[in-house]
Amino acid sequence: MNSSRYQRQNVRSPFSSLMAHGEPWVWLMSGSLAVAVTMVIGLLLFITVRGSIHFWPRPLYEITLRNGEKYLGEVISRETQLKNISDDQTVHDRVLVRTVDFRTDSTRYTWFDKKNMSSIQRPQFATVIERFEGGRFHGFPVCLLKDGIPTTDSPEAAWQHYQEISPTIQKRFREANRIDKLRRGDLQKRLRNARLALFDARLKQGNNHPIVHKVKKEEEEISKEVAEISDLLDKKMAALRKANSLWKFEFKTVDGQSVIFPVEEIIQAWQPNNISLLGMSYVYGTRWWEFLSDNPREANSAGGVFPAICGTVSMTLIMALLVAPFGVLAALYLREYAADNSLTATIRIAINNLAGVPSIVYGAFGLGFFCYGAGGWIDENFFSASLLADNQPTFGTGGLLWASLTLALLTLPVVIVATEEALAAVPNSMREGSYACGGSKWQTIYRIVLPRALPGIMTGVILAMARAAGEVAPLMLVGVKKIALDLPIDTSFPFIHPEREFMHLAYLVYDIGFQSSNSQAAKPMVFTITLLLVTIIAVLNIAAIYLRSRLKRRYAVQEF
């Protein structure tokens, strides 16, 4: 037997054996994965840390400069700077301090050189005040005034008394604001609706038709009723405001100036140098709660983001509800019914390419097609009164529905591709089994194929939701506004208002981060909103993944 001819060479170069074993490739692969994981974890950590410390009360420092100027503020960062190498004093310590000027209602970030300071200390009673209007104030409590008469004699007593009365006053203040909003909002809406109904009747029936007279009567009744309710509410509000206006709080600034604020305008106050860890946690918690549950104030740079949370979540969910059936039906036809020819292949490529179209293009399309096209048509045919009387479009402008539809279009390719893959992954033996039992094609699809493909379809919808919740560019064109306090879902009939403009967290990030006048002041807010957005997307995804895993458990294939 001539074995030597086919005998393999035993001696190989070390390099070729290394490559053959694939060690370098394994290293390369694990290295790539490690880089990717590090970047993701690093980004998340960065956002989490920066976003979550924003509400933690920082100590207040009183800084006295050598020239006599005094400042009270939070130390944001410290650094050592090399200024001039030839100089003797090359090393240079400085601190970044956040101070506020209540006269101009502005927050300032200033660098102070250590060598210019004569002293830096943490005064015990330094107080931070969040005002309803005008932003923050840093100062020292002096006394609490009731009807202009001091009720306390020492700063401690004033502070203590304030904390006792503050909850009642805040409650009254909120109640008054609520009434104000109700009166302004709901009553105005009723008046407007009645007025539009009259206009509509005149438009359709002419001026002297009996229906017009009837509607006119109704309108008069409604305006009378509204006026009555308005009066009643006015009185109630005045009583609340009066009870609140008794109380004022006198403060002095760091340079000794006296300032008096009405107590009701103080949303929250704390003495960061004078509270325990528990107290700090309480302040932290209440500030987060305010952030999550309140309306924004001060051009979105303070207060809460509740409308934006509502807008983001409702838009994402409506988008998912729209895109899922639409995408699944399209994919079903493409995979199960359409003939397998070049036309189908072209359509498939086109759908894949749609995923690569810049999202702003979808925004422009949504604005042109949905808002102006479909919305304009709806307005002309159903809301003509509003359009003609007030020159105000109802559906013919950006809104929740149009934004959801635009994003549904944007994410449609994702759902179609995922569904097609899920359908293709259903084993043919299942289909054959159903056909053999006498099932028609539709029965087979609907009883066997779809349930089996459902987890895969869910994956597509999850990806679509993640994409849609983080999208900003198209939303700016089709309905997201800087401030829109009327929620798309509320307690006034018909409860869901798909035509309303809404706020969105991702847009808030853009708006606060890049459109505000004081970018330093906006930075922590940007991180906090980003953290919130990431958390909301994660929660939505986890809910969907949970649903999918339940489905999977039900339809899991066990191999033997």
Partner 1 sequence: MQKGIGPSVYSGGNKPDAGTNRLQAVAQGKDVSAEVHPKVLEETPVLEIDRFNLWYGSKQVIHNISMPIIRKQVTALIGPSGCGKSTLLRSVNRMNDLIQNIRITGDMRLNGDSIYDPRMDVINLRKRMGMVFQKPNPFPMSIFENVVYSLRIDGEKNRSVLDEVCEISLRGAALWDEVKDCLNDSALKLSGGQQQRLCIARAVAAEPEVLLLDEPCSALDPIATGKIEDLIQELRGQYSILMVTHNMQQASRASDYTAFIYLGRLIEYGPTSDIFTNPVLQETESYVTGRFG
Q: Which residues bind partner 1 (CB under 8 A)?
A: 427, 429-430, 432-440, 443, 447-448, 451-452, 554-558, 560
Give Cβ neighbours of residue 557 (< 8 Å, ≥ 6 apart). Answer: none
As a whole number of angstroms, the distance between CA 237 and CA 245 comes to 12
CB of 551 to partner 1, least distance (A): 10
As a whole number of angstroms, the distance between CA 395 and CA 498 comes to 9
Nearer to partner 1, 536 or 551 (CB): 551
CB of 56 to partner 1, least distance (A): 50
CB of 438 to partner 1, least distance (A): 3
Sign of the dihedral through C-alpha 70, 76, 80, 82:
negative
As a whole number of angstroms, the distance between CA 477 and CA 199 comes to 31
As a whole number of angstroms, the distance between CA 378 and CA 381 comes to 5
- The closest of 123, 163, 156 to 141, measured between CA atoms, is 156
CB of 554 to partner 1, least distance (A): 6
Nearer to partner 1, 430 or 489 (CB): 430
Nearer to partner 1, 83 or 447 (CB): 447
Nearer to partner 1, 305 or 426 (CB): 426
CB of 422 to partner 1, least distance (A): 13
- The closest of 263, 264, 283 to 273, measured between CA atoms, is 283
Tokens of 356: 């690569």
CB of 456 to partner 1, least distance (A): 13
CB of 556 to partner 1, least distance (A): 6
CB of 342 to partner 1, least distance (A): 16
Nearer to partner 1, 450 or 521 (CB): 450
Nearer to partner 1, 82 or 339 (CB): 339
CB of 38 to partner 1, least distance (A): 39
CB of 532 to partner 1, least distance (A): 39
Is the Cβ–Cβ distance between 132 and 265 less than 8 Å?
A: yes
CB of 464 to partner 1, least distance (A): 24
Nearer to partner 1, 16 or 558 (CB): 558
As a whole number of angstroms, the distance between CA 498 and CA 487 comes to 10
Nearer to partner 1, 397 or 459 (CB): 459
Q: What is the 3-state secondary structure (H, E, C) of 48-80?
A: HHHHHCCCCCCCEEEEEECCCCEEEEEEEEEEE
Nearer to partner 1, 20 or 436 (CB): 436
Is the Cβ–Cβ distance between 128 and 59 less than 8 Å?
A: no
Q: What region does 148 belong to: left with phi over 0, alpha with psi -120 to 50, or beta?
A: left
Residue/partner pairs of 172-177 with CB below 8 Å, 24 or more apart: 172/240, 172/243, 172/244, 172/264, 173/132, 173/240, 173/244, 173/264, 175/240, 176/237, 176/240, 176/241, 176/244
CB of 553 to partner 1, least distance (A): 8
As a whole number of angstroms, the distance between CA 388 and CA 198 comes to 12
H or E segment and range at residue 108: strand 106-113
For helices 519-555 and 505-515, the axis angle rounded to 10 degrees is 160
Nearer to partner 1, 85 or 556 (CB): 556
Nearer to partner 1, 59 or 451 (CB): 451
Q: Where are the alpha helices (DSSP H) in 206-297?
A: 210-245, 277-293
Nearer to partner 1, 277 or 436 (CB): 436
Strand partners, 93: 80
